[in-house]
Amino acid sequence: MFQISYDQAKNRITVKVQSITMEEVETYIQEFNKVLTQVKPGFTGLTDLSEGKLFTQEVAVALGPLGELSVQKGLSKWAYFTGSAVSKMQMKRMFGDIVLSFEKLEDAEAYLN
């Protein structure tokens, strides 16, 4: 399961991921695109993977293009936090230098603010 929200005051997308299956990918992409219609250029993003499971390769490939789409919509910074070294590597492979990894929520928010 996942949750995607937009904080207009901070101009920030927040994503909390416990898991995303191939059956959920299309719903995730639709919800993410819907939120992207609300952002203003220079927006930031925060993903909470602290309770998340690794994505399957299939899911990772399906979600990868969302990083570039976010950049096209005006993304300035995106951070995620997780305690998993493997999850950090997966996010790096999926999104490259678009995202930075943090072990604590406070550190990720400090980077974005």
pLDDT digits (tens, 9 = 90+) for 62-99: 999 999 999 999 999 999 988 676 777 777 777 777 88
Characterize the bridge pairing of strands 44-48 and 77-81.
Answer: parallel
Cα 101 to Cα 59: distance, rounded to the nearest angstrom: 20
Cα 92 to Cα 4: distance, rounded to the nearest angstrom: 20
pTM comes to 0.88
Characterize the bridge pairing of strands 99-102 and 44-48.
Answer: unpaired
Cα 79 to Cα 101: distance, rounded to the nearest angstrom: 6
In this model, does residue 28 exceed pLDDT 80? yes
Write down all domains in the chain, each with its CATH number in brackets.
Answer: 2-112 (3.30.750.24)
Crossing angle for the helix pair 65-72 and 22-36, to the nearest 10 degrees = 0
The pLDDT score that the predictor gives to residue 38 is 97
Name the residue among 92, 12, 6, 11 with its Cα closest to residue 49: 92
The pLDDT score that the predictor gives to residue 48 is 92
Give the pLDDT mean for 5-27.
96
The pLDDT score that the predictor gives to residue 88 is 73
Average pLDDT taken over every residue of the chain: 91
